[in-house]
Amino acid sequence: MSAPLLRLDTVSRAYGARRAVDEVSLDLHPGARHALIGPNGAGKSTLLHLIAGTLRPTSGRIHYAGYDIHRWPAHRRARAGIVRTWQHPALARPLTVAQNVLLAVPGQHLAALRLPPRASAAALDALDQVGLAEHAQWPTSQLSYGDQRRLEVAVALAAQPRLLLLDEPSAGLATTEVTRLAELIRALPTDIAVLLVDHNLDFVTAVADTVTVLHHGQHLTTGTPSDVRTHPEVRRVYLAEADPAKHVPTTPGATDPPAAAPPVLRVRNLRAGHHGAPVLTGVTIDVQAGRVSAVVGRNGAGKTTLINTIAGLHPALSGTEILLHDRLVTGLSARRRCRAGIGLVPQGRRLFVGLTVAEHLALPRPHPGRPRTVTARQILDLFPALGERRHHRPHQLSGGEQQMLALARALLAGPQVLLLDEPSEGLAPAIVGQLAAIITGLAATGSAVLLAEQNLALALDIAHDVAVLDRGTIALHAPAADLRADPARLHDVLAVPTESPR
């Protein structure tokens, strides 16, 4: 067997007394398709940071292509062929799709008056590999979330990697997009080694030949995808069902409100677009207290645009009416809508990099006339990991812990309606189960929840009603119970398999 391209020798990374990565050893050979999985907080993304050079190990050695690189800076590793994507798309949004890729072509400078034909050809070839060649001149900001994910892969491929690090590449993608991404990774040249982190076990099985499982920063096991799936310890720590006790305390006897109850949030004829291109052309939806209303749809259907327009982060076009308790809030700023009672957990979390967990939790202030739904003490009971990480900043938290912090921050503002944009993105199955319990618990206390979610199984499991966005408007709106009983109704508008959600 050839010498390993990458060798990790008892690598550790500590934050004070806490070891995010604890003496992990791993060999990766040229052409390998290897996955890292584990529960949130296991140290997966931290390990990618250590390999890419954006973090330095506390102890241990990292060898790449025969060199000890544990002290090399990130840019030197990138030039040597270690290329990565990020947990959330990290793209230059003011630039076009092609310009983003050209930034990665070795030896090119966008300031040049004329780019060499070779550079343009390399960029277009990378875009063609991911199916984005026809969008080459689009502004990156106009791409759907799924297309931004594919663009990140194109940028990585244009950098001519020898080792490709992918952090949650399938997060937020629809089923068909995940399938295309898996085919793309499997078709990469055999001299490129791939190390990916992902929570989608079906995707991992389709892509990886070997899988390493981490737990509390330590190596648990390595094997084939089938071996790992049946490993009893992996099933216990990674696929464990959520603790039903970990949810917001519910009001005894809380039930769904009658159908005639007035909605907390009314959205009428919502119209919005990007750079003159219409995205939403007339969306009408109501959200009632004590209910979870879910909005689903393919990537690019406008789910995030809908959530951001209601929250005031994106401008609505004329004719739109957004009412909170029958008060028109369409013309209010995002800050004033928040004060009025519209809470938001945005896609990507949008945490403040310089603030600690405790400082994040000290920021929200509900309107003086509106009591908090939960107290700071209840938040720490609800998310005990945040109490343990009180003095940590976001980059020191796992993806699941960051999502907990974003949700806690929104809850402490005492919202009357809570907007959740892809809250399950990048979360381990057990954490998704806890998230489901939290959301249903919030509704049981009387909160109104509007959920935009790519995870159909989660949406159908916790929502009372489901609206499907398609071609800028709502193509289907039905009780979730009806869709659970007859999932084939979703097929025509979503083009997804009609199996019942697990």
Domain membership of residue 247 (yes or no) is no
Lowest-pLDDT range of 40-54, 168-182, 344-358, 403-417: 168-182
253 confidence band (pLDDT: 50, 70, 90): very low
Q: Which of 242, 271, 300 is the last residue of a domain?
A: 242
Are 17 and 102 in a shared domain? yes
* Mean pLDDT in residue range 357-369: 79
Domain match, 229 and 301 both: no
Cα separation, 220 vs 233, in Å, equals 8
Is the confidence at residue 498, as pLDDT, over 80?
no
The whole-number average pLDDT for the span 276-301 is 87
Percent of the chain with pLDDT over 90: 36
Torsion angle (degrees, nearest 10) of CA 324, 329, 333, 336: -50
pLDDT in tens, 5-33: 999 999 999 877 778 899 999 999 999 99
Q: Does some domain include residue 252?
A: no
Q: Based on the domain organization, do 213 and 314 belong to the same domain?
A: no
In a domain, 182, yes or no: yes
Same domain, 226 and 78: yes
Instruction: Report pLDDT for 119.
Output: 76
The residues near 20 (Cβ < 8 Å, ≥ 6 apart) are 13, 14, 43, 46, 217, 396
271 shares a domain with 231? no
Q: Which domain holds residue 441?
A: 263-494
Quote the CA–CA distance of 24 and 216 in Å, as a whole number. 11
Q: How many domains does the chain have?
A: 2
- pLDDT digit string (tens) for 402-451? 888 888 888 888 888 999 998 887 677 777 888 888 888 888 888 899 99
Query: What average pLDDT does the structure give for the chain?
Result: 84
**Per-residue model confidence as pLDDT tens digits over 190-233:** 889 999 998 888 899 999 999 999 988 899 999 999 898 888 88
Give first-to-last CA distance, the chain, whole Å.
41
Kindly state whether residues 221 and 312 are assigned to the same domain.
no
- State residue 499's pLDDT score: 42
Q: What is the pLDDT of residue 375?
A: 73
- In this predicted model, what pLDDT tens digit does every residue of 300-331 receive, in sequence order? 688 889 999 999 999 999 999 999 999 999 99
pLDDT at position 445: 82
Same domain, 32 and 178: yes
Residue 250 pLDDT > 60: no
Looking at residue 474, what is its pLDDT? 92
Residue 244 has pLDDT above 70, yes or no: no
pLDDT for residue 139: 87
117 φ/ψ angles, rounded to the nearest 5 degrees = -55, -35
Bridge-based pairing state of the strands 33-37 and 210-215: parallel
At residue 59, φ and ψ (nearest 5 deg) are -155, 165
Check residue 497 and give its pLDDT. 42
What confidence score (pLDDT) does residue 116 get? 65
Q: Assess if residue 251 is contained within a domain.
A: no
pLDDT: is 148 or 243 the higher one?
148
pLDDT at 276: 65
| Res. 104: pLDDT tops 50 | yes
Whether residues 368 and 419 share a domain: the answer is yes
Instruction: Note whether residue 106 is domain-resident.
Output: yes
- Does 227 map to a domain? yes
Assigned domain for 377 exists: yes
6, β-bridge pairs: 28, 64
Above 70 in pLDDT, residue 480? yes
Residue 254 placed within a domain: no
Clarify whether residues 230 and 143 are in a common domain: yes
Residue ending a domain, among 242, 275, 302, is 242
Whole-angstrom CA distances from 4 to 49, 193, 211 are: 19, 10, 16
Q: What is the pTM of this model?
A: 0.63
Q: Answer yes or no: do 228 and 270 share one domain.
A: no
Closest to 461 measured CA to CA, from 495, 424, 497: 424
What CATH number has the domain bearing residue 372? 3.40.50.300
Same domain, 228 and 269: no
pLDDT in tens, 453-463: 888 888 999 99
* Percent with pLDDT over 70 in the chain: 87
Q: Which of 195, 213, 242 is the last residue of a domain?
A: 242
Determine the average pLDDT of the residues in 154-158.
Answer: 89
